[in-house]
Structure 1
């Protein structure tokens, strides 16, 4: 986000290409301006991974089974990173790791064409 901003892209454009909200983009840029590169490091809280309620799990499953184009996205297949970013941007979850998403989808019985599980591809 910071690099895109430095290249002259506006907040709305950055939000669109990073699948997040303009408010999140502004927060990241503001934090970078205030704290520099230290603001970009991960903030691990530690502890147990978040649990998702039944409604969240169902919503994640439905989105994963749909085509990205059905959600107005410009690509034809999901990757774990794209799906995780989309779920956060849409407010389905506050945060989800790629591995956490992979396990949740496996537990929900979600597989994709050819019987393959969702792979972590970019």
Structure 2
């Protein structure tokens, strides 16, 4: 096929087709291998990534923080406060830690009471729930 025919058939510019043909003539079959650039370059240096991994492995209490375990959001906050990075997303932290074989579960929160009768009251409320049976069936 001629270059104009290929161009019309595959909706590719004639210049691009000529470039491919020229490259094939110079390099042979190797020119047909895809030449991917590997995606977007990493935003953070290896040193920054290592600092985040190291931070995640230090117990928060050792750093004088008022909590006992890390969440991804807390790692983000502390990494930015300590200027390990200017800004970073929770998802990027998850990826960095995953590459280092460190995983964190989603944070679960619950409320506690300082009421001394809390446990008894909590059990009372669960006893007041009534199971309703379906009618018919």
| TM-score w.r.t. length of structure 1 | 0.52
Which residue does the alignment assign to 1:81?
A: 73
Q: How does 1:1-122 map to 2 (within 5 A)?
A: 51-110=43-102, 117-121=103-107
Q: What is the rounded CA distance, in whole Å, between the counterparts of 1:49 and 1:79 in structure 2?
A: 27
The answer for unaligned runs of 5 or more in structure 2 is 1-39, 110-137
4+ runs deviating over 4 angstroms: none
The answer for unaligned runs of 5 or more in structure 1 is 1-47, 111-116
Paired residues in the alignment total 69
Q: What is the rounded CA distance, in whole Å, between the counterparts of 1:86 and 1:49 in structure 2?
A: 25
Q: 1:97 to 1:120 in 2, by over 3 A?
A: farther
Bigger Rg, which one: 2
Q: 1:83 to 1:70 in 2, by over 3 A?
A: same
Q: CA deviation at 1:120?
A: 3.5
The structure that is helix-richer by fraction is 1
Name which structure has the greater RCO, CA cutoff 8 Å, separation 6+: 1
Q: What is the rounded CA distance, in whole Å, between the counterparts of 2:84 and 2:54 in structure 1?
A: 11
Q: What is the rounded CA distance, in whole Å, between the counterparts of 1:61 and 1:70 in structure 2?
A: 16
Q: What is the rounded CA distance, in whole Å, between the counterparts of 1:63 and 1:85 in structure 2?
A: 11
Q: What is the rounded CA distance, in whole Å, between the counterparts of 1:83 and 1:108 in structure 2?
A: 15
